[in-house]
Amino acid sequence: MAHGAGGAVMQSLIEKYILKHFGGVQVDVPIDALDDAAVVQGMVLKSDSYTVKPLFFPGGDIGRLAVSGTVNDMCMIGGDPLALAEGFILEEGFNIRELDRILESMRKASDEVGVPVVTGDTKVMERGALDKFVINSSGFGRRNPLLDQNLIVARKDRDVSGQWLVDSNVRAGDKIILSGTIGDHGIAVLSARQGYGFETKVESDAAPLKSVVNSALKVGGVVAMKDPTRGGLANLLNEWCQKSHVGILVEEERVPVKEGVRAACEMLGLDVFEVGNEGKFVAAVVPSRAEAVLAAIKANPLGKDAAIIGEATGDFELVAMETVVGGRRIIAAPAGDPVPRIC
């Protein structure tokens, strides 16, 4: 299960097996970069499978997830999503009313963000060959028209080599902005599974982030963006750290976590930094623009709880956290995901 969990074990599967075959292709942002999406001839391409269990959970469902996740990955690299292709695989006998609810939810999310579903595919597997229903969500987009001006602003502070918002762009001194509370999605999905009865109802944050991303890019100075999905914030920061060859220092008390999520994590022994999110993003911003970008993000309802949670540093090359009780601890990349099949 860890091979699909978004952490270090999956990274090793991809590096050892998948890149062996598909690496080395020369495109603007190649598969080797293992970034959020690929860029080919100036166009952004993204594909993701959704196997969340259960299909419906507080705050969302597999359909909302499929639209949001694919849109968000295209946004993260600096793309402007234009269209989605949605493939459905159903287990024979799958309830048609559930399918209908899922499709309605996809259309709603698609309308919210203004990215249409333009093509699709339907396959059926015989009873027992698939656990109900999975979605393959892919899409393409153009370069975000706000990206050039955003990078011009960033370059007033320092050199930025990449033309896209890739994981290797972070430099010492950059401020790390988190767009809101973490852990909501993973805990909401867990709470919907049998046998968990939490006191507080936690809702998934699944949402397409295009508008709040654009709020940030309009200010300018953003050099990297990424959404903390599988593997959570811990995995995201470690990826930046490895690919950008910088350290990242986070202040625990600045990381927003809802009380219900914190309580559930304590009860279950989960590290909230490793729990997946589907409606949050992290931006690395040049220092002079960080406060302005933060203000713009907070002005958008999707970013109202945003905070500067730390900064990149040249002093070490790992992710460290100043804890609330004082002292520092290292945040390692999780081996797997503490909560399987959350997306």
Min CB(112)–a second copy separation in Å: 14
Min CB(164)–a second copy separation in Å: 13
Q: Which helix (H) or strand (E) holds 56?
A: strand 56-57
Residue type, 123: K
Min CB(53)–a second copy separation in Å: 8
CB–CB of 139/247 below 8 Å? no
| Residue 18 in contact with a second copy, rule: CB under 8 A | yes
Of the pair 20, 328, the CB lying nearest a second copy is at 20
Of the pair 208, 221, the CB lying nearest a second copy is at 208
CB–CB of 301/286 below 8 Å? no
Nearest to 75 by CA among 209, 166, 171: 209
Which listed residue (129, 267, 295, 324) binds a second copy by CB under 8 A? 129
Min CB(13)–a second copy separation in Å: 7
Of the pair 131, 253, the CB lying nearest a second copy is at 131
| Residue 46 in contact with a second copy, rule: CB under 8 A | yes
Choose the stretch contacting a second copy; rule: CB under 8 A; options: 39-47, 176-184, 206-214, 290-298.
39-47
Min CB(342)–a second copy separation in Å: 11
Residue type, 103: L
Min CB(317)–a second copy separation in Å: 27
Which listed residue (8, 45, 318, 332) binds a second copy by CB under 8 A? 45
Tokens of 338: 């503490």
| Residue 124 in contact with a second copy, rule: CB under 8 A | yes
| Residue 51 in contact with a second copy, rule: CB under 8 A | yes
Nearest to 125 by CA among 151, 93, 98: 93
Bridge partners, residue 202, by sequence:
none
Give the per-residue contact string, 84-123, with a second copy (x = CB under 8 A; - = no).
-xxxxxx-x---x--xx--xx-xx--x-----xxxxxxxx
Neighbours of 199 (CB within 10 A): 9
Min CB(263)–a second copy separation in Å: 27
CB-based burial of residue 1 (10 Å sphere; 0-12 exposed, 13-18 middle, 19+ buried)? exposed
Provide the terminal-to-terminal Cα distance of the chain, rounded to the nearest Å: 13
Which listed residue (20, 156, 245, 328) binds a second copy by CB under 8 A? 20
CB–CB of 229/251 below 8 Å? no
Of the pair 143, 298, the CB lying nearest a second copy is at 143
Neighbours of 118 (CB within 10 A): 13
Of the pair 9, 318, the CB lying nearest a second copy is at 9
CB neighbour burial string for 273-304, b if at least 16 within 10 angstroms, e if fewer: bbbbbbbbbbbbbbeebbeebbebbbebebbe
> How far is the CA of 128 from the CAs of 61, 125, 132, 187, 215, in angstroms?
22, 8, 9, 28, 46
Min CB(274)–a second copy separation in Å: 17
| Residue 315 in contact with a second copy, rule: CB under 8 A | no
Of the pair 195, 301, the CB lying nearest a second copy is at 195
Residues sharing a CB contact under 8 Å with residue 97, sequence separation 6 or more, in sequence order = none
Bridge partners, residue 320, by sequence:
249, 330
Min CB(186)–a second copy separation in Å: 15
Which listed residue (3, 193, 245, 329) binds a second copy by CB under 8 A? 3
Residues that bind a second copy (CB under 8 A): 1-5, 10, 13-14, 17-18, 20-22, 25, 27, 30-31, 37-38, 40-41, 43, 45-51, 53, 82-83, 85-90, 92, 96, 99-100, 103-104, 106-107, 110, 116-126, 128-131, 134, 136, 138-140, 142, 340-341
